[in-house]
Structure 1
């Protein structure tokens, strides 16, 4: 133990000495220079060539990297979760790594980095990192690294590493590090963290101008297994690199590594905080129409029904020009309540602002109080109330001034019923579709492409018949083979058969009823072919006050497995294991109790606890970060009483998800978006029914916590 303490003390002293040395080389930091932009290494993280640096990009930076090194390819997604915390997901293909060096290994890995100290005039930035900490352990390593900017474009880096980072010329040992690799991955390798041999690494980068960056490093990764298996040759720990930087922050890099190998990478960088503000180029809304002095006292219009009818018609016309629908108007002498549908604006605050300004132009001068009740699927979401005099007075002031005078309340029983002749409504569309399956060990990416025809019939505001039909044009999802079966019913692993036989296929065909059974309470009942694999009945209740960050819901489903051709038939709930022939029953009933919470700063959490499709019990935890422009980046993980062995490769269900608003790309306001989920092959453990129209995402958009996040667009 004394020896360990001595080695630990020596390690701390050496790190402190390295930090002091870097600081002594420089003087006070000059103003930020474009040459000091963060560079990304072959692992897709801030770094030199192979080694990490303590550079930290701006909060919310999202970077995607594809790198290739002599038959080893790495695709990495990097996200700056918080100003000091970042995470990476990596998918690697390593040739000559399995079966005596003759097969390619496809590997998933996750990294975390945390900045312990920010850089100042007198000290370097210091970062601690965990690489491949819940993967199979092939790239497993931990590090403590410091980086100091000495002058614009010139940076020095030094650090210490364990695992992969401690495999070349170690000078100390801290405990015993377990050897070998984890079989199925997916679990934190806590007993490895900061244990084993410790080695030093470091380097320097210099950007002579804003487009070029030169890098030199001393690597502490010996690439032991790759060299042993013949996939790589190594003759030197010195690596060299050149980055060509694009104006948008991306980079194209070429490297000479290990003394013998050549590598290259391409990195794209964006930031959801600033990219593509929805509705960035649409015409501005109508200006507020101020009332003439004394006009507010004129109530003569109340005696003339024609003037009231004309005011309502004018408001509907002005709203329609703004892309909004006014389904009903309750007009009183000094107060008006409207029923509004917003099919256009992804930021509800922009819809409220445009509607309020249209109201100042269409309604009689005596009407002082404007109440807007947004309605989704017949459900009144909230009641948003303005005073007309505030709109007149604050039009050219900051939006926050208007927010302070805006009242949010529950819209329960506040919306007037829709006018006659609006319903039923029918809409339809035809569009291409893409279905992906990733991380199959036999083929990393599989996909089906084709055409989708979808239609919605709103019989009443809250009773909706909807469905979609697909026709596959090409694809190979029917070739996914899952023979390493679990001891669970095959609730998702028959996906290949659904792809093979479902052409054409009815994706879903359902009748849904939405309601407001009580104050703060929302309901949904859906019956029909609910998704690709299951039909039946789904019922949901959600409690969500209009001004609360918290919501609580419950869902129960009674299901029956659909035929593989995805037409109008059902099949037995008994599944057969193709390996053992064992029969297992899918339970008819599943469901969850859910809690949702908006933490602020765009973070939303969700916890689902209940019974999953295969009959396993457990919970799913999810955390998403959302931005005012509609972008969303998050992750989830599901743990159930199904053992890790029963679940199979990956140990438990987990994934990363993105929401990409179309408005960000086209510059016009839109509520359309693309949801992308990156996860392992669909497995049976932790699987949940896919139901359209779940309540929380519909409801929270128009409640105060979410509306406030985009309130800067109120006057847009």
Structure 2
């Protein structure tokens, strides 16, 4: 069909469907009473993996913190999409698409990012309104912007949108934003190609022709939704490069919800093809079917008999302290906690412990406090409970009165009242060390799995093998650790040689991965200590990671009651041999960063690092993470340095998505295993930072007042 004819018909069809969707909504309002919104407790997802109708977007957001993982398949294209509702109004999208015979490549892989902003929530009369940027940081295959409104009336949802870019490729008309200036009337070409991946070309946004799209959805039941839409996307790129055919702008779809987490999609698209999709929804707030978990019950508070607090006869017994310490050590071990120090006086007890396999610091403090009521004499009223980090750093001390525990254990608002009455102080010193605690030695043997993602020739490359690791702590704060690996199989070493113009600090990863003999992954010695009030310090030396070794020093200022932390790190790094034995190459560099950390509301964590990176470039890294009460953390980061986009190469700048999932949050049982991954669209040399184990902020933050306060709801669990 000639483009001019298709465009003219598209304009007429868009107007008709927009009028029809409005008419249907008004008719439904007249015919149906306002009923419960059970059918719309969350939006359907379209074939682009975002809230939408069939292939076009709609305005409603997903539920706060929902993660939607979608796989869509249609003729010539497959799309894998991750959609995260970052806040109730903002969501982000990462999409990985595979197209047949696109741009002269048999199997073409494309990466893209979206952002969606809810401008207005749906009201009794007003629609929900969302502004979206699609493929704003990729090669631009799907690039487009839209403003969309959606209204729900009973079982019907009507959507009308205005689109630019790809959303205006069919039925386009003069840009209404042209009234703001001539620059909006023409859409400039984007950077395109892999060299353009990641560039934020804002000069394209909302430029050029605009077009209307519209659709209507009908909730046949609480599980089934029927949809029809007019699409303003002409799929010209797919028609030109794949076997896809665009015969009609109308799409017809069916969505079927399986339980609360899965959605199946089927559709007849563009008059030519059948499409299918599957979406799985995961919310970090409720990751498993057993929110309470399978944790063992805590010890109850043992109340004192009247007048018992005045009995100090125990204090005259010479071995009383040793007996009480032994009792506490046995109680802590039974609950996977580690006694670090203990001291008693007639009216005060000091205890220090490490978390072990406990996942919540406030929950652990609550359990230790109740154990103390079971084991310590009634005259001891004041409990000073010190939280010690994994590497022996004393972080904070929670001061609790025994009488408050006795009063509040069964109070309706006992958690809040116990927090209000407790005091959280800085902890520089430990009570005397528990006798048989040090030295400590631990080792593990098991499999390892490493992955690299988004190579143009292969979506994922894996390396699998066996790892033997060991950790030795002769006294608190002094740690020796290391790991040996034997690769058994893998394809990470099949990557092409680096073509980077920068020093190959990361892009020679394939040469490190392509080793069949035993390799030394890391071998370090570290000292952790408290040089002053609110100060934490670390000095490390050795082979830090497969690619670099050297010497590293770090200082962190983090007051116990502050959301702000400031740090500085200086490293001398030397590049290791590809064989990953004890040898080094000629390349060495002095790197370092100044860092600022801020703990925001709703679990948001903000971090900014500025300094010199491994390739000698100077710049800054900005990171935002959201952490949930169960320890699941999801975030993203971007690094901008004085390396130009062209010199950096594919990807334009370093960026990525990262997540941490404690296995306990999924299985409901205690385990110290955490699944942690950083996913970069591409790994290059610019913006590369030394990987040092045991950085201070992550060891300190959860044990101070802001972290304990957010976790205090678990104090009585």
TM range (shorter): over 0.9
Judged with a 3 Å threshold, the aligned counterparts in structure 2 of structure 1 residues 296 and 14 are, in CA distance, closer, same or farther, namely: farther
Q: Is residue 401 of structure 1 aligned with residue 401 of structure 2? A: no
On the 8 A contact 2:488/2:516 being kept in 1, the answer is: no
Residue number in structure 1 paired with 2:186: 176
Match of 2:287 among 264, 267, 275: 275
* SS of aligned partner of 1:588: strand
What is the CA–CA distance in structure 1 between the aligned matches of 2:558 and 2:453, rounded to whole Å? 36
Match of 1:238 among 250, 254, 262: 250
Residue number in structure 1 paired with 2:143: 140
Alignment of 1:461-500 (within 5 A): 461-483=476-498, 485-500=499-514
Match of 2:556 among 518, 539, 542: 542
Q: Deviations over 1:349-396 (max 9, x none)?
A: 110010000001100001011001111222111011101111100001
On the 8 A contact 1:278/1:663 being kept in 2, the answer is: no
On the 8 A contact 2:37/2:154 being kept in 1, the answer is: no
What is the CA–CA distance in structure 1 between the aligned matches of 2:452 and 2:129, rounded to whole Å? 39
What are structure 2's unaligned runs of at least 5 residues?
Answer: 1-14, 179-184
What is the CA–CA distance in structure 1 between the aligned matches of 2:624 and 2:270, rounded to whole Å? 39
Q: Is residue 255 of structure 1 aligned with residue 258 of structure 2? A: no
Match of 1:119 among 122, 127, 149: 122
What is the CA–CA distance in structure 2 between the aligned matches of 1:420 and 1:678, rounded to whole Å? 44
On the 8 A contact 1:109/1:134 being kept in 2, the answer is: yes
Q: What's the CA shift for 1:48? A: 1.4
* SS of aligned partner of 1:659: strand
Q: Is residue 630 of structure 1 aligned with residue 631 of structure 2? A: yes
What is the CA–CA distance in structure 2 between the aligned matches of 1:599 and 1:570, rounded to whole Å? 42
Residue number in structure 2 paired with 1:192: 204
What is the CA–CA distance in structure 2 between the aligned matches of 1:45 and 1:508, rounded to whole Å? 41
* SS of aligned partner of 1:486: coil
On the 8 A contact 1:457/1:466 being kept in 2, the answer is: yes
Judged with a 3 Å threshold, the aligned counterparts in structure 2 of structure 1 residues 633 and 259 are, in CA distance, closer, same or farther, namely: same
Alignment of 1:378-527 (within 5 A): 378-397=392-411, 398=413, 399-413=415-429, 415-483=430-498, 485-501=499-515, 503-527=517-541
Q: What's the CA shift for 1:650? A: 1.0
Q: What's the CA shift for 1:301? A: 1.3
Q: What's the CA shift for 1:275? A: 1.9
Q: Deviations over 1:552-600 (max 9, x none)?
A: 1111111211111111211221xxxxxxxxxxxxx42111111111012
Residue number in structure 2 paired with 1:57: 62
Q: What's the CA shift for 1:248? A: 2.6
What is the CA–CA distance in structure 2 between the aligned matches of 1:16 and 1:246, rounded to whole Å? 31
Residue number in structure 2 paired with 1:576: none
What is the CA–CA distance in structure 1 between the aligned matches of 2:405 and 2:578, rounded to whole Å? 58
Residue number in structure 2 paired with 1:301: 314
What are structure 1's unaligned runs of at least 5 residues?
Answer: 1-12, 574-586
Q: Deviations over 1:647-666 (max 9, x none)?
A: 00111000011111110122
Match of 2:566 among 549, 552, 570: 552
Residue number in structure 2 paired with 1:8: none
* SS of aligned partner of 1:601: helix
Judged with a 3 Å threshold, the aligned counterparts in structure 2 of structure 1 residues 688 and 22 are, in CA distance, closer, same or farther, namely: farther
On the 8 A contact 1:41/1:52 being kept in 2, the answer is: yes
Judged with a 3 Å threshold, the aligned counterparts in structure 2 of structure 1 residues 273 and 457 are, in CA distance, closer, same or farther, namely: same
Q: What's the CA shift for 1:482? A: 4.1
Residue number in structure 2 paired with 1:672: 673
Residue number in structure 2 paired with 1:48: 53
On the 8 A contact 1:29/1:121 being kept in 2, the answer is: no
Residue number in structure 2 paired with 1:3: none
Judged with a 3 Å threshold, the aligned counterparts in structure 2 of structure 1 residues 542 and 634 are, in CA distance, closer, same or farther, namely: same
What is the CA–CA distance in structure 1 between the aligned matches of 2:330 and 2:380, rounded to whole Å? 19
* SS of aligned partner of 2:319: helix
What is the CA–CA distance in structure 1 between the aligned matches of 2:507 and 2:500, rounded to whole Å? 10
Q: CA RMSD in A?
A: 2.0
What is the TM-score normalised by the length of structure 1? 0.93
Q: Deviations over 1:438-466 (max 9, x none)?
A: 11111121110112111101111111110
Q: What's the CA shift for 1:327? A: 2.5
What is the CA–CA distance in structure 2 between the aligned matches of 1:322 and 1:266, rounded to whole Å? 42
Q: What's the CA shift for 1:20? A: 7.1
Q: What's the CA shift for 1:547? A: 1.0
What is the CA–CA distance in structure 2 between the aligned matches of 1:530 and 1:115, rounded to whole Å? 44
What is the CA–CA distance in structure 2 between the aligned matches of 1:14 and 1:367, rounded to whole Å? 80
Alignment of 1:653-664 (within 5 A): 653-664=654-665
Residue number in structure 1 paired with 2:375: 362
Match of 2:543 among 513, 529, 547: 529
Match of 1:316 among 315, 329, 348: 329
Q: Deviations over 1:299-336 (max 9, x none)?
A: 11111123443222222221221111222211011111
Q: What's the CA shift for 1:37? A: 3.0
What is the CA–CA distance in structure 2 between the aligned matches of 1:233 and 1:291, rounded to whole Å? 81
On the 8 A contact 1:447/1:477 being kept in 2, the answer is: yes
Q: Is residue 75 of structure 1 aligned with residue 80 of structure 2? A: yes
Residue number in structure 2 paired with 1:709: 710
* SS of aligned partner of 2:370: helix
What is the TM-score normalised by the length of structure 2? 0.93
On the 8 A contact 1:502/1:565 being kept in 2, the answer is: no
What is the CA–CA distance in structure 1 between the aligned matches of 2:376 and 2:72, rounded to whole Å? 61
Q: Deviations over 1:262-299 (max 9, x none)?
A: 21111100111222478711121011001111111111
Judged with a 3 Å threshold, the aligned counterparts in structure 2 of structure 1 residues 337 and 17 are, in CA distance, closer, same or farther, namely: farther
